Structure formats: structure tokens, C-alpha cells
Amino acid sequence: MKLNVSVNIVFFNVLATIFLSLGATRSVGQIKVQNMLIEHMANPIGVATVKPRFSWQLVSDKRNLLQTAYEIRVANDSSALFLGKALVWNSGRVFSDSSINVSFKGRSLQSGRRYYWQVRVWGNSGKVSDWSTPAFFQMAFLNSSDWKAKWIAPGFTEDSLRASPLFRKQFNSPRKIKSATAYITAHGLYEAQINGKRIGDAYLTPGWTSYHKRLQYQVYDVTDKVIQGENAIGITLGSGWYRSHMSWDNIPDSYGKDIALLFQLNILYDDGTTEQIISDESWKSSTAEIRYSEIYNGETIDSRKEKKGWNMAEFNDNDWSGVKVSRNAMNILVATVNEPVKKHETFKPVKILTTPKGEKVIDFGQNLVGWVVVKASGRNGDTIKINHAEVLDKLGNFYTTNLRSAKSENNYVLKGGGEQTFEPHFSWQGFRYIKISGYTGQLIPENFTAVALYSDMEPTGTFTTSNPLINQLQRNIEWGQKGNFLDVPTDCPQRDERLGWTGDAQVFSRTAFFLRNGNNFFAKWLKDLAADQSPNGKVPDVIPNVLNYPNGGATGWSDASTIIPWNLYLAYGDKRLLKEQYPSMKAWVRFMTDSSRNYIWANGFHYGDWLSYMLDNDLYGRSAVTDKYLIAQCFYAHSTQLLINTAKVLGKTKDVTDYQKLLVHIKDAFMREYVTGNGRLVSGTQTAYVLALNFDMLPIHLRKQAADRLVKNIRSYGNHITTGFLGTPYICQVLSRFGKTNVAYDLLLQESFPSWLYPVKMGATTIWERWNGIRPDGTFEPASMNSFNHYAYGAIGDWMYSQMVGLDIDENGPGYKKIKIQPHIGGNLTYATATHITPYGKLSSGWKVENGKLIIDSEIPANTTATIYIPANRADAVTEAGKSITKSKDIRVGKLRNGYLELQVGSGRYIFCGEWPLNTKKESR
């Protein structure tokens, strides 16, 4: 959880300003340090690792800045930090270019303690920066014994609707308060207040984990909420993921029937004494206006049952019930590492309409995930019903059949006496449209506000082109991620599902990491994947494994256990995460090996190339069904290769050797089983050739002909894509790799079904589950599985950023320490540009075709290097900032190959200009 900058830090900055103004020695130069992070978070509290990692970014107005050394100092308070005395740790001058994930190496850190830190760096010019602005971090509970609180449950008998319980505790703080920290978790979801003020701005806490094995708690600084004198704590619980009916099977009580609270408030007084307010037998419980709350079905709020002032000290709770102390596990409690769900964008109605059926409907213009805040007036007992839908049907009527059994309905009962405001607490919806019943008076836009909820991951990527349809596709990709990254990476946010499907997450992961900082989000989810993984290595289809099905182990789905950790490592350079996930990665490869015969994995349940082009929507006289076991063999090889890569990073030389031998056997088996003598695959589909080429299943001499067969297949379908979930992420990547970028553009720019732009042309504002969720005639695909907010096909974003614009990671320098920029011009676009906030700072590049010239504008963050490939036929035809690149001291000119000129550069901004079009249009492989 994030905190506001403390008074101590403000005081420190004032002192620093005075100190510098008096002429103290300071560095001369242009190096500054900014964006200081602990475990990828700014000023976090609730840090659970005993060796937290420090990261920072360098800024300079000079090119080619590299860090050569750093010094970190850590103190218990800001004044000690300022003086540089009584430090908890001083690293001394460490000669290193590391500026991300630098581990703490001081004496043991203490539970609940706040620490202050700063860093200074030396650059390759020999100059040293000033000490950075101080930052802080606060530790979580490091031992189970730190918990003094007891689990408590309501002391009353629940009704059949399971009305949300309230918990209340009044206490006195007799002295002036220096600091107060709250630690909270629940079976279910919670909202907490102190003296009527909400604790934190997070929603749906404590989040969703594998509750029987890992239950998160949150840590909050509540110093500004606790007062000297009488105080009151008020906490409301909802069923949430813990005991709502989950999945299409409507499984109730997936983790337990109970609903319970664990709360601890640690107070430090000015005189140095401490006090703990804990959940125990002294608390009171009752119910109020939230009469029903389920994830899929929505929430019912009866405002007539509101207990006004119940969370204030002066409230009379004599008629409240007591509580029951329960014996729930304490050893599974873990501090939260990922960003919480928060409120984000708001939308006002773009249209208020009456459907042909006479229903009152509001259109918010965007398919989003969250809820609608409603203002209403009426008589006591009037009930307003809000239903939610993603689309209207062909006739313009409200359509909810694709929600299946999910009611997705909020009911608000008025108490009369003036305007009231309603919104849910523990349920949310996926929707663009709402249908309103029982509303008194005229529907006016001012009374309805849609609020988007999603995990508070930092936005890191932007992308835009000269093509408006591609730009809308990009917005759809972004909104697909927002709507489905709600504490876990769900497949869809609206129907009776909303589960953490592993296949969806892995195919979208590279796109996700470009658009938003997903390090902590996925690190948390991968811990649950490892927790729910079977002893034999099988990975469930969904994480957390609320389905508890006996299957699992599906190729392309379970491979999330290897693909996502490796993609995370490339994106963020997080070696510790690789180390933590390595046993899970090995277990999955072991499962495939144990399941195979003669190194051919041809058994078990597999989804295959899910939702690929099928006969039921065929326009060309044939379907595109790929042999599931051919796909399985390809992913078997891919996961093994990723295990080899990981073992190299972790220095596990024996594992490298063993898995390299295994990989040879897997690929040899693929050739025997699935490839004819002349190189034809037994499945002649786009996906078959894409996977075989992308995962290097074919020997080098057979790859060109395979790429040609892929192109022939695409052309035979009239430049339409036929891949499903597993082939789609790689198809354009493979085409560009083998010099077929023009074909990749033909696929991307195709506007008729099946294609990426077909939904855009049909008015989509998110990515659809199916290529043709809405058919050309306006009718729908079967409602049994037809989501209009699925992100899997949004994986094309990775190609748009890494190939079209050309921003990519050099695998020899993970975390963008080394950068590759190689734009692929085409599609009659006149420009394309992208930015990405890397762990080292802002990276950007864009190209523009103008008046027979190609202009490439790139910005490289400090403490990194980049290889830029400029489309060119000769070096002397390229300039930078108006001068020949051959005369620039900041650019090292490399080889000219396959229509690209290789340039080595350091940090800074570069504006290149060359001829366009080129006489020879060759592309690198």
C-alpha cells in the first residue's frame, strides 16, 4: 500500500535546502537520481522480505550516461539519514552499474519498523550525483508471533441471504499519538473505517489468493485517523471470492462457509509507549443496509436498514450481538506484494434510450469493469434495479444471455427524505449498458456515473499510428487489460466465470508487461500457481484453482508456469522471481516428460488452439483445426527451452546440460511424428506452421519452405487469420522474423472477418473472446461462450510495439538494460510511435515517412545501451540531427545487412533521417 510523504521527509528536505544554500559541497554535473523504489513500489509499507531490493533511475541531459558506482544509506529516522550517522546500513561506494533490484545487506530489519533511505551514484564521466531525495519503506510482520489479534466471526445467526456483517470496536487513546498502523485481512472481502474515515483507497481487499495456502493481509498508515481520546473502528465484510457461488457450476463456499475478520492496530505514542487494539471477544457485530452481495449476481442495499453513525465513537451498540472467536490458520498469512484494486476512470452516459421493448437503457460508450454510482430520490421502500450488459442485440434490445447464470444485478431500496447515492461494495460488473427499472423521475446523465475498477498497476506503455482503426484496436487492448486485471488475470469480467485462466494470461503476458508494470501483479499470481500445482507437476487450468477439477495439465495453459516467469525476467530483470519459480517450472516439464512416451507427449486433455477458425463459421469451405498433440509437442519443447534459459541465468550448469539433451529428444520426436520427408506438417494450418517456426522445431534447412507454406495458407484464406488462442500471439512475429512483414501487415489491416479489425469495425471497445462474437448480420455467436471483453487476441499488441515500431528487449540485457530498436515499415502507415517506461526510465521510438524521407526519433534511458537498426541501403545516406552518422562521436556504426544499418548508441535522444522507400526492401531474419 502507498503512503503520503511523511512529515519527517518534509523536514529533511527543508534541512537539505538550508544546508545546500549555506554552500555545502555538492557534485557538479547533470546526473540526478529519481523514482526510488523498494520492491518495485514507491514508499511502500508492508514489505515482507528481509532483504528488500532498491531501484532507482538516473537522469541527465548528456548522452551516453552509465552508472559506474552507487552508495546507499538507510536509517531509522530522517534526521539520522540526513547526518549520515547511526545508520542501519551504509553500502559504501560499490563499483557497479546495477540500479535495479539491488539487495539490502545491512543488519536485520525489524517487524513494523519504518526506515528511510537515499542513494547517490557516480557516472562514467567521473561525476557524482547529489544524494537523492529521501524515501522510506515500512516492514510488515516478519513473524507469526507478531500477530496478537484473534480471528472473529459474527455473533448472530446469518440469514439465508447472508447480509454483510458489521464489526465494531470502541477504544480510548489516552496520549498524543506519534504513529498508528493497521493490519487487516478477512475470510471474504472487507471495507474498514476509523472514526468514520475509510482506511485506504483499495477495493476488494484482501484480494484473491489460494486461500487455504496463502491469505494476504494489508498494512495501512492510519496515523491521521486515530485521535487522542475516544475512537471507533468499523469494518464491513462481504462474501467475495471466498464464499460466493463461483464458476458456471455455481459452486458455493469454495473456501469455507464462514466469514471472519482479523484486525490489529499498533499505536506508538509520543512518549514512546505502545498499545495494540486487536480483534477479540470484546468486539460487537450486527448487520445493516447490505442485505445480499455475490460476485456474479450483484448486491442489494436497503438503505432503510442503515445504522447511521455506527462507525463513530458516540454510537450506542447496546443492542448489537457479540462475536465468536474462531481458530483460523495464522501461518498462511502473507503480506500483500501486488498493487490493490482501485477506482480509476469515470464515465458519464453518452446516450439514454428506450429500446424497442420499451426498456430504459443507458449507454456509457465504453465496455468497462466496475460499477455505476446512482443518485436517486423517491419514496420509502421504492426499489431501483440496475442490470448490466455489454451489447445490445440486432434490434437494439438489452442483451444479457451471454452472461449465462450471472444475474449481474444491483438493487437499491430507498428510505425517502431526499436524494440518496448508491454504489456496490463487494460486487462488480462488466458492462457498457445498464437497464434501469423502478427509477422515479426522468433519467438524466448527472445522476449516473460509471466507475472503472482495476488493479493499480502503473501505466508504462503507449502506442499510436496514422491509422485510426489500429489506434482503436490499441484502445481495445488497453481496456481489455484493465477490465481483466482485477487482482488476478481473469479471462472475462462479466459472466459466471471471471477466473484466472492460465492460457489467457500467458499468451497476453508480453503485451501486458509493455502496457503496465506487471512485476508485482504476476509475482503474486505465480505464487498461487505454484501453491495450487499438483505434486506431480500438473498445473490447474485456473489460478487460484477454484474449479478443483481433476484435469489440468493442458498444453499452452499449464505452460504459464514457464512462459510468464521468463517473460517477467526479460521485462524487469527480476532474477529472484526466476529463482522462486524455478521449482514450479521444473515440475511442469517433469510432468510432460513423465506423461510422454519416447519423448512424444500425445495423451491427456488439451484445449488445443482454442477458438481457432472452425467449421461453424466457415466462409472458405474448410476449418483450421490443428492437431492438439502437435501443439503439445511444440509447447513441450518451448517450456524445456525456457527451463534451459532459466538454468543458465541461475547458474545451474548440470540442469542446463540435462535439459539440452531432453530438448534434442523432444525435437527429434516431433520430426518423426509430425513432419513428412519433404517438410510438410501433418496439420497444414497457420497455427501448426507458426508454432513449429516460432519454437524452432524444424531444422534450419526446412524453415524457409515452412514460412512459405504459412504465407500460402494465409493467402488462400484471402489474407485472413485462422489461428486461435495459441497461434495468434506468434503469427505476425514469425512472419516478420522470416522476412514476411508485408503479410503481417495484410493480416493486421484486414477489416473483414476473421481479423483484428473486424470487431473494431463492428463498434467494439474491448477485445472479443471470438473473432466473430457479433456476426456480420448482427446476430451473435452461441451465448454459452461469447464474451465481449477477453484480452487473449490482444496479444497482437506485442508485435505492434516490438516489430512495427521496433521497441524490444535484447535478451542479453534483461529489464531493458540492453535495448533493441528495429522498426518494420509498411501497411501504408505514415507514422507509428511507442513509449515504454522501463525499469531504467523512459524509452521511446517512432518512425515517420514524409517527403521521401524516413525519420526515426528514439530516446534511450540513462544507464542502458541500445542497438538501433535503421532501414537503409548505405551508411552515408543516414543522418542524425542533420549530420552524417559517420561523424557522430555518440554513435558506433555497424554492419549493413538485409536492408538495415546497425548502430550502437548510449542514452539520450537521437533523430535519424534516411531515404524512403529503399531500392531494395529486404528484412532481417
Q: Would you tell me how many other CB atoms lie within 10 Å of the CB of residue 381?
A: 11
Phi-psi region of 637 (alpha: psi -120 to 50; beta: other; left: phi over 0): alpha
What residues are paired with 233 via a beta bridge?
A: 169, 194
**Structure letter (DSSP) for residue 625:** P
**Structure letter (DSSP) for residue 759:** H
Q: Would you tell me how many other CB atoms lie within 10 Å of the CB of residue 899?
A: 18
Rounded to 10°, the helix 728-737/502-515 angle is: 50
Q: Is 501 helix (H, G, I), strand (E, B) or coil?
A: strand
Q: Are 430 and 493 in contact (CB under 8 A)?
A: yes
339 flagged as catalytic: no
> Residues for the chain: how many in total?
925
Q: Where are the alpha helices (DSSP H) in 428-537?
A: 468-484, 502-515, 519-532
- The CA distance from 786 to 611, in Å, is 11
Q: Is the dihedral of CA 620, 622, 623, 628 positive or negative?
A: negative
Rounded to 10°, the helix 575-595/560-572 angle is: 160
* Phi, psi angles (nearest 5°) of residue 544: -60, 150
Query: Kind and range of the H or E element at 892?
Result: strand 891-897
Q: Are 205 and 189 in contact (CB under 8 A)?
A: yes
- Locus of grid cell 469493469: 369
How many degrees, rounded to 5, is the angle at CA 618 between CA 614 and CA 623? 45
Residue 780's contacts (CB-CB under 8 Å, 6 or more residues apart) are 391, 393, 399, 401, 402, 773, 774, 786
* Phi, psi angles (nearest 5°) of residue 410: -115, 135
Q: Where are the alpha helices (DSSP H) in 624-682?
A: 628-649, 653-674
769 flagged as catalytic: yes
CA neighbor of 70 nearest in space, from 24, 132, 116: 132
CA neighbor of 593 nearest in space, from 603, 582, 606: 603
What residues are paired with 597 via a beta bridge?
A: 600
How far are the Cα atoms of 167, 298, 417, 486, 641 from residue 607, in angstroms, in the given order? 45, 31, 56, 25, 22
**Structure letter (DSSP) for residue 800:** I
What's the grid cell of residue 180? 498508528
Point out the catalytic residue in the list 299, 478, 497, 880. Answer: 497
What's the grid cell of residue 902? 546497425
What residues are paired with 136 via a beta bridge?
A: 116
CA neighbor of 599 nearest in space, from 524, 533, 697: 697
- The CA distance from 625 to 481, in Å, is 28
Q: What single letter denotes the amino acid at residue 807?
A: L
Point out the catalytic residue in the list 390, 769, 781, 902. Answer: 769
Through-space distance between the first and last CA atoms of the chain, rounded to whole angstroms: 45
Largest CA distance in the chain: 87
- The CA distance from 674 to 482, in Å, is 39
Q: Are 146 and 130 in contact (CB under 8 A)?
A: no
- The CA distance from 724 to 313, in Å, is 58
Strands (E) across 16-113 are located at 32-38, 45-47, 53-59, 67-75, 89-90, 102-103
What's the grid cell of residue 788? 465481449
Catalytic machinery residues: 497, 769
